[in-house]
Structure 1
């Protein structure tokens, strides 16, 4: 799969890196960058009949995050939706969406992080004739105005979760309503258009159901995929070191070179351990969480190094170091669990 990574890297260097600031804040620029990935046919990489390996997908994610955190996060939402569809028993949905999702001619997001929350379910599903009646608010859905549909999760009375395909736009019908909120004012990646979506008596017909998952599915899913998001952080770390390297080439300060070499070695070691854990399969959950916490700490450290060497210019909102530092903050809390929060805090002594 080296050709895949090389082709993607060429696109990122030529079409994404020069406009990374615009992609971060302008939805239309992000949409165009996402469509560029679609033209490469790389938006359903984990879908049979020829899914890439976990290692290749991890490196692919790191590549994109190196040049644009917003693009990396957006395309991963779409890739996750494609992965869920590929495992669905609903052959009609698979045949309708997956071929077009590969090339980005149809965009699909996800909305199920709320299942991690304890207490009263935020979105409920009641089984009715021909499907389910959905009510509640999905607090985080990325890609408004970019994606056409999204897969949401709603809790059934017995604790299971029904996943269904719904329109990602304001919709009013006789049997229900979908209301898309205003874009959240995020510290980074505002172009991803992350919103809340409220459903009022929305009828999800059986032919739009992707799957029904058992009680505790989200926690089992987190256990299986705890390491994959590490590559957002590793890509962010690489972006920080790219800035440090450029400054060193300009100023030729020995202490900048020393920091660059040290951090580059640390990044390589961290990436190597995480890739080993992904391919080995024998690492405990505790060890995997610690590795992800280490990647997060490294992203913050490298982003801070980029800010430091950039001096006062880093305080400008359109400076690359400022953007990368904000991305490090977002990747610190994205998909956070209590175990990951602890692992991240325990890395503070090493920063």
Structure 2
């Protein structure tokens, strides 16, 4: 059985065709509805990578990537909200702390939906969120610049850095509470529908029983940077959707040429992602990621050109994919990926 034959991949395709894509224009204007997340919860997709013994599917990474491509191509905003959930699941699956037994099952089955708030840890030596020991728990102070899925998530995986250079990850309820205040929803050029806010933390206290991981930043950073060097499946998913529109607009030969490039890049990116040494070949991963961005930009632009003036309608999927492409260019951006990407852009002929 290939990854595309896996039951969860077929489930994702059915959701994409029957729910996400038909309503993507409305979602783009009005926001991701609870009903979309309820459908994803019920589908089993939130547990695609979770251990079977906790109610998950325990599917190979290739299946998870295929699911992500399908969801992102159908409705990138909905994909972005639900994709946050998979990081807490994976972190809990590797944890040996008590919170694993309390939360991994509900997250694996979709009973609970989790967001994340830790990208700011990459800003070091700036420390936007600082943690300090406080009794039998931790105090969080500072500002989380980005938190997606506010009002949709049940939980939030939050991180901060201590004065001793330790990164502390802990769960909290995704709601306003003493020590945690959200901003108004941000109006963004793309994916405003994903309900992104910033969070003000002023003495938010979380007990030790909420902590899922404590690790020296010197250990966390290299692994995190290597992960961020991989190409997001969403890049390929949005590219695929744009090429389908290009072909449907009467340009099958142009689409065919770009499909060949997509297949080659996808194979290279996923081969590197599955390398047994996760922190190996970072320059090669970044190079492929940059090439994938170039193809994404080419595919979405080609679809715009082929569809002409109608692509400027907010109801047209072409401009929505082009705006999603802008977002994907900066999602999970690191200094290394930014440098590599800018170098490639300035060397383009």
When normalised by structure 2's length, the TM-score is 0.91
> Residues 74-98 of structure 1, C-alpha deviation per residue, up to 9 Å, x if partnerless?
111011121122222233x323322
Structure 2 distance, partners of 1:51, 1:123, is 33
Q: Does 1:311 align with 2:278?
A: no
Among 45, 56, 68, the residue aligned to 2:63? 56
Q: 1:289-328 residue pairs with structure 2 within 5 A?
A: 289-328=286-325
Aligned counterpart, 2:96: 89
2:112 alignment partner, SS class: coil
Q: Shift of the alpha carbon at 1:217?
A: 4.3
Q: Is the 8 A contact 1:160 1:212 kept in 2?
A: yes
Structure 2 distance, partners of 1:179, 1:41, is 31
1:18 alignment partner, SS class: coil
Once the two structures are overlaid, the 10-residue window that deviates more, 330-339 or 209-218, is 209-218
Once the two structures are overlaid, the 10-residue window that deviates more, 271-280 or 239-248, is 271-280
> Residues 166-207 of structure 1, C-alpha deviation per residue, up to 9 Å, x if partnerless?
1222113xxxx2101111111111121111111111211111
Aligned counterpart, 2:129: 123
Q: Is the 8 A contact 2:230 2:286 kept in 1?
A: no
Unmatched 5+ stretches in structure 1: 249-255
Structure 1 distance, partners of 2:325, 2:32, is 23
1:213 alignment partner, SS class: strand
Q: Is the 8 A contact 1:161 1:215 kept in 2?
A: yes
Q: Does 1:135 align with 2:132?
A: no
1:125 alignment partner, SS class: strand
Q: Is the 8 A contact 2:244 2:255 kept in 1?
A: no
1:171 alignment partner, SS class: coil
> Residues 211-267 of structure 1, C-alpha deviation per residue, up to 9 Å, x if partnerless?
11112344223344235543111111111112112211xxxxxxx232111111111
Aligned counterpart, 1:330: 327
Structure 2 distance, partners of 1:38, 1:229, is 25
Among 210, 213, 225, the residue aligned to 1:211? 213
Give the direction of change, closer, same or farther, for the CA distance of 1:215–1:280 in structure 2 (3 Å limit): closer
The total of aligned residue pairs comes to 338
Unmatched 5+ stretches in structure 2: none
Among 27, 42, 46, the residue aligned to 1:43? 46
When normalised by structure 1's length, the TM-score is 0.90
> What CA RMSD, in Å, does the superposition of the two structures yield over aligned residues?
1.9
Aligned counterpart, 2:21: 17
Q: Shift of the alpha carbon at 1:65?
A: 1.2
2:46 alignment partner, SS class: coil
Aligned counterpart, 1:184: 186
> Residues 262-295 of structure 1, C-alpha deviation per residue, up to 9 Å, x if partnerless?
1111111111111222234476110011111111
Aligned counterpart, 1:149: 155
Give the direction of change, closer, same or farther, for the CA distance of 1:94–1:23 in structure 2 (3 Å limit): farther
